[in-house]
Amino acid sequence: MAFEYAPAPESRAIVDLAPSYGLFIDGEFTEAADGTVFKTVSPSTEEVLAEVARAGEADVERAVGAARKAFVKWSALPGAERGKYLFRIARILQERARELAVLESLDNGKPIRETRDIDLPLVAAHFFYYAGWADKLRHAGYGPDPRPLGVAAQIIPWNFPLLMLSWKIAPALATGNTVVLKPAETTPLSALFFADVCRQAGLPRGVVNILTGYGDAGAALVAHPDVDKVAFTGSTEVGRAIAREVAGSAKKVTLELGGKAANIVFDDAPIDQAVEGIVNGIFFNQGHVCCAGSRLLVQESVRDEVLDALKRRMATLRVGDPLDKNTDIGAINSAEQLARITALAEAGEQEGAERWAPPCELPSAGYWFPPTLFTGVTQAHRIAREEIFGPVLSVLTFRTPAEAVEKANNTPYGLSAGIWTEKGSRILSMASKLRAGVVWANTFNKFDPTSPFGGYKESGYGREGGRHGLEGYLSGAAEPVKERGERGGRSERGEGEGGRDR
């Protein structure tokens, strides 16, 4: 029997929300040039949280101009000086962690337990980690005199708004680039609060610019001729459009796209631990996770045992108010995403898979989906092939390790995978055969700023995190220097120039 929990709401009084917010350009909050705004809502209540400026082409122009101007001085700073700013930002993020955690839960719908214990600690850790690299770039393995690229256009999704911001901004600044970042339209607020953190840290004007808005602002940013680097996290579809747009230009690109990871449970795995890992793999962050373990591959001989334990565990998951500290599963981020999850789950039933969810009372307002699993899934089913990006698990079985590898790799994606077994040799042999950027063994969804993250195939290219995450923001001194006239290029940086740390 499950324990009853009394409500344990986190107070939202710590967040001081203004009725409206502007774009952050050249160190100032400003209205959009054409005055357009949009509303951001709390997905758990549908309450409007604030009005936010919607960037258009003129604003993209201003922001890229500000970043270009700031690049000259920022890239000329000694690495140790840039590191000081990053350390300062990291400390302010820690000091304001509670405020930012509540804000993120409000705007995104994810449980406070996760924003407080996972998102915010990782956000600060990313800034601390890359702060440490800022004066050691010559020892990073990218040539004796690595240089920044210039202005980085960064576009992020709504599932980990502040964490994706930190994955993008921390390495860009450490390497001496300046940034124009566009958050997702459903989660603009934490990026705007981050702009305030930058001001608090005394970061020079124009080094970080934040453009809230829709996809068209993202597209204009990517297409801007004065952008040197594009870093995108989001759907494979938009990633493809971006790759087409920048093809043939000198822009450097990294793409972090979708996934359909296999979480593979062998018959010698400790079942209770594996069940915790399966639950964490697919129900963490409502399953809005690109590397979610959305396909469970379980060895046939332990299928029933695993499924029984998994169902028992799923029945104890608490779905509801993201600000309640007991909540395991919060709200789906938007009505649009809920419709996508609902449609794919219906397709699963229509194609003959069997659907199961524990009895679960959902709030009447807001966007919700119960933790769900499908059995009788074949590799041909849409729910086994397409990314659902929600709390929906597809269960398949296998008999031999070779069959597990074949099924795991039978996907256009290749972002992550999980292996559950007692045998170390099996872990190594499986990991070497799985075509996935990250392979977890006897754990899942573990993140660390020192560890590179990224995909194979349609999951994208380039790596974020770790030493590898520096590469996408540097050009080695051995490479020819780009001719950029007035803007960047080695010649006008003079002595003590960009990216040279001492």
Q: Tell me which residues are annotated as active site.
A: 256
> How many beta carbons lie within 10 A of that of residue 183, not counting itself?
29
Q: Decide: is 234 part of the binding site for ligand NAP (CB under 6 A).
A: yes
Nearer CB in complex with ligand NAP: 258/499: 258
Distant-in-sequence, close-in-space partners of 425: CB < 8 Å, separation ≥ 6? none
Question: If binding is defined by CB under 5 A, does position 186 make contact with Mg ion?
Answer: yes
Instruction: Write out the DSSP string of 331-354.
Output: --S-HHHHHHHHHHHHHHHHTTPE
238 near ligand NAP, judged by CB under 6 A: yes
Which of 186, 459 has the CB closer to Mg ion?
186
Structure tokens at 91: 């400390």
* 40 interacts with, out of Mg ion, ligand NAP, none, CB within 5 to 8 A per kind: Mg ion
When asked if residue 107 is in the footprint of Mg ion (CB under 5 A), the reply is yes
Residue 222, interface with ligand NAP (CB under 6 A)?
yes
465 is a site residue for ligand NAP (CB under 6 A):
no
- Among ligand NAP, Mg ion, none, residue 107 binds (CB under 5-8 Å by kind): Mg ion
Answer with the entry of Mg ion, ligand NAP, none that 262 interacts with (C-beta below 5 to 8 A by kind): none
Determine, following the binding rule CB under 6 A, whether residue 410 of this chain makes contact with ligand NAP.
no
Looking at beta carbons only, is 39 or 312 nearer to Mg ion?
Answer: 39
Binders of ligand NAP among residues 318 to 377 (CB under 6 A) are none
Query: Does 114 engage in binding with Mg ion (CB under 5 A)?
Result: no
Q: Which does 159 bind (CB under 5 to 8 A by kind): Mg ion, ligand NAP, none?
A: ligand NAP
Site size for ligand NAP (CB under 6 A) = 27
E-assigned strand segments in 350-452: 354-356, 372-375, 392-398, 416-420, 438-441
Question: Least Å distance between CB 54 and ligand NAP?
Answer: 9
For ligand NAP, which residue of 63, 103, 290, 434 counts as binding (CB under 6 A)?
290
The CA distance from 331 to 340, in Å, is 14
| CA torsion, ordered 222, 227, 229, 235, to nearest 10 deg | -10
Per-residue binding string, Mg ion, 118-137, x by CB under 5 A, is --------------------
Are residues 314 and 279 in contact, defined by beta-carbon separation less than 8 angstroms?
A: yes
Long-range contacts: 183-186, Cβ < 8 Å, 24+? 183/156, 183/158, 183/210, 183/212, 184/156, 184/157, 184/158, 184/234, 185/38, 185/40, 185/158, 185/212, 185/213, 185/214, 185/215, 186/40, 186/41, 186/43, 186/107, 186/108, 186/158, 186/333, 186/334
Q: Are the CB atoms for 327 and 7 separated by under 8 Å?
A: no
The Cα 491–Cα 502 span in angstroms is: 19
**40 makes contact with Mg ion (CB under 5 A):** yes
Residues engaged in binding ligand NAP (CB under 6 A):
155-159, 182, 184-185, 214-215, 218-219, 222, 233-235, 238, 241-242, 256-258, 290, 387, 389, 415, 460
Residues engaged in binding Mg ion (CB under 5 A):
40, 107, 186
